[in-house]
Amino acid sequence: MLKVYKKLLYYVPKEKWLAYLAIALTAVSTVITVSAYYYLYGFLKRLVVMKEAGDAFHYATFIAGLLIAGSIIYMVSVLLTHVLGFRLETNLRKKGIEGLTSASFKFFDLNASGRTRQLIDDNAAQTHSIVAHLIPDNAGAVLTPILVLAVGFMVDVKVGIVLVLFTVLGAGQIVLMSGDKSFMATYQAALEKMNSETVEYIRGIQVVKIFGASVNSFKALYKAIMDYSKYALDYSMSCRRPYVWFQLVFLGAIAVLTPFIVLFMDLSSAPAVIAVNLIMVSFLSGVLFTNFMKIMYVSMYAYMGTAAVEKLEGIFADMQADKPAFGTLENFENYEIEFADVSFGYNEEMVLENLSFKLEENKSYALVGASGSGKSTIAKLLSGFYKLNGGAIKIGGRNISDYSEDAVAKSIAFVFQDSKLFKTSIFENVQIANPHATKKQVFEALHLAGCDELIAKFPLKEQTIIGSKGVFLSGGEKQRIAIARAILKDAAIIIMDEASAAVDPENEHELQKAFKNLIKGKTVIMIAHRLSSIRAVDEVLVMENGKIIERGNDSVLMQQDGKYKYFQDLYAKANDWRVRV
């Protein structure tokens, strides 16, 4: 348990003093509260045994004062730990956000966004309880039984023995109620699976509404729900019997003890003393019962907290794993590209193995091949997104890892098939490529990207907001703004991954003009399934199973009876295909 708290408090270095203060206040509260029961014994003894009622009001007031003071101090302790818990939860979420912003691209390939969000949100929330409630409860759980037993023996040895017996029986039932740790792990895994599948299901709710599908159509979610319900029921049933016995021991204590007292004790000798002792057993066993209930929840939250910390630290570590290393060089001698025996795989399955080729600067290249042949992987590796399994990627004769991350980012511009725009103005969406660019430079980039007509149709022109609070753009319009962003960046290497795949015919002409302005005087690598758009490139590299099987310009490759000619012929047939009525 201490190991878990040490890990948790690491994330709240400025506020961890609140935990120590809360423990101290809980200890004070426990001493004061148990002292009130000792004074209650003195009060009952004077009132029932000695028949002295003169100072009863004084005793009652003092006891009530102790109980109130103990409660107030405990509330302050819990308030402090709640402040600590909320700060911890916030910091863990911030840590998750920071981790995601700097995570390796491989992490996003291997982890679904729904599961990642669920892991961070749910486990950060679970750490709140282990801090907000368990720190004071743990401190009280350790001290309370000791003080209660001490008071019990001070009242009477027999009372102390009875309380010891209750403590042993209660502790035994608590152990039985804790259940099998491996079963708890299975239960938690089922809960996690159900939560992550639910997030993914909600994200796809539009499909559900459009096609009238039910939850059963999402087999993964349905199975997760059924598994969780089964494990939850099994766990509850495994705890049922010990929990019933636990309640019988404490709630039926007086009912069990009274027959033994009547049958085996001489009530005529000191009935008043026996009555006071029974009252104290009732009070003190109630305190033990409340304390054991807290311990029961301590056990549950302790396991959940431990699992939450381990999962969070695991996902934080995964975010930073496989990040490519960068150096300190800021300038490139030239922009020639070389892959030297490059090997890479997302898991154990390799996508590229010992791949080698060179690309000259200021020329245009196209990567062609079936899906899964390694085209997009080459583009991502060249951008410095992934750590290689083997070999080296060189730009200007130097390993890409020799350059700083900023230098690599500034030298390469990436235009994706589905470019992402931010919910801000068109102007700011372009200027983000170069925050120091002047207004004139931004307008020039928009002009070269063919955005003049696009901007003119909006009343606010370039200040038009994009997204949920503004206008919605077509795929081609978004691409032109993305190209304007790339033009403003003025990177030496341009990578276009299916950049014109989903463009409507109305925008294609403007888009092709924008592409020409973007790639002028640059080293360009295109990935395209629209084969008509790559005939003019300097060289085509045909990929298959992570290997380059053909290389040359369009005219050379079309003269060969190879894979490229096969793709072009197939593309031509597809374009000539028509539905006959």
When pLDDT is averaged across residues 182-192 and rounded to a whole number, the result is 66
What pLDDT score was predicted for residue 177?
A: 66
Residues 25, 74 contacting (CB under 8 angstroms): yes
Residues 132, 78 contacting (CB under 8 angstroms): yes
What pLDDT score was predicted for residue 14?
A: 87
Residues 493, 465 contacting (CB under 8 angstroms): no
pLDDT tens-place string over residues 343-381: 888 767 788 888 888 888 888 888 888 777 888 888 888
211 confidence band (pLDDT: 50, 70, 90): very low
Of 379, 414, 366, whose CA–CA distance to 534 is shortest? 366
What pLDDT score was predicted for residue 268?
A: 57
With a cut of 70, say whether residue 574 has pLDDT above it: no
pLDDT tens-place string over residues 522-566: 888 888 766 766 777 888 888 888 888 888 888 888 888 788 777
With a cut of 80, say whether residue 510 has pLDDT above it: no
What pLDDT score was predicted for residue 581?
A: 46
Report how far residue 280's alpha carbon sits from residue 49's, in angstroms, rounded to the nearest whole number: 14
350 vs 210, higher pLDDT? 350
Stated pTM of the model: 0.63
- Residue 265 makes CB contacts below 8 A (sequence gap 6+) with 274
Report how far residue 9's alpha carbon sits from residue 19's, in angstroms, rounded to the nearest whole number: 9
Strands 364-369 and 539-544, how do they pair?
A: parallel
With a cut of 70, say whether residue 152 has pLDDT above it: yes
Report how far residue 96's alpha carbon sits from residue 83's, in angstroms, rounded to the nearest whole number: 20
> Distances from the Cα of 306 to the Cαs of 131, 199, 214, in angstroms?
12, 24, 36
241 confidence band (pLDDT: 50, 70, 90): confident
With a cut of 50, say whether residue 579 has pLDDT above it: no
Report the percentage of the chain scoring pLDDT > 90. 3
Q: What is the DSSP string of 407-448?
A: HHHHHEEEE-TT----SSBHHHHHHTT-TT--HHHHHHHHHH
Question: What is the signed CA dihedral for 572, 576, 578, 580, rounded to 10 degrees?
Answer: -130
Amino acid at 137: D
> Distances from the Cα of 254 to the Cαs of 34, 50, 243, 279, 460, in angstroms?
20, 24, 19, 9, 81
What pLDDT score was predicted for residue 69?
A: 92
Positive or negative, the Cα torsion across 469, 475, 481, 485?
Answer: positive
- Residue 181 makes CB contacts below 8 A (sequence gap 6+) with 303
> Distances from the Cα of 334 to the Cαs of 364, 492, 516, 522, 525, in angstroms?
15, 9, 22, 11, 16
210 confidence band (pLDDT: 50, 70, 90): very low
398 forms bridges with which residues in the sheet?
A: 395
When pLDDT is averaged across residues 109-124 and rounded to a whole number, the result is 73
Give pairs for 433-436: CB < 8 Å, separation 24+. Answer: 433/485, 433/486, 433/488, 433/489, 434/488, 434/489, 434/490
With a cut of 60, say whether residue 76 has pLDDT above it: yes
Amino acid at 411: S
261 confidence band (pLDDT: 50, 70, 90): low
What pLDDT score was predicted for residue 11?
A: 82
Give ∠ CA 136-138-140 in degrees, rounded to 5: 70
What pLDDT score was predicted for residue 203?
A: 59
What pLDDT score was predicted for residue 79?
A: 92
Reduce the DSSP state of residue 389 to 3 states and report it.
Answer: coil
Lowest mean pLDDT among 61-75, 269-283, 291-305, 398-412: 291-305
269 vs 425, higher pLDDT? 425
What pLDDT score was predicted for residue 441?
A: 87
Give ∠ CA 430-436-440 in degrees, rounded to 5: 65
In terms of phi and psi (left: phi > 0; alpha: psi -120 to 50; beta: otherwise), the region of 552 is left
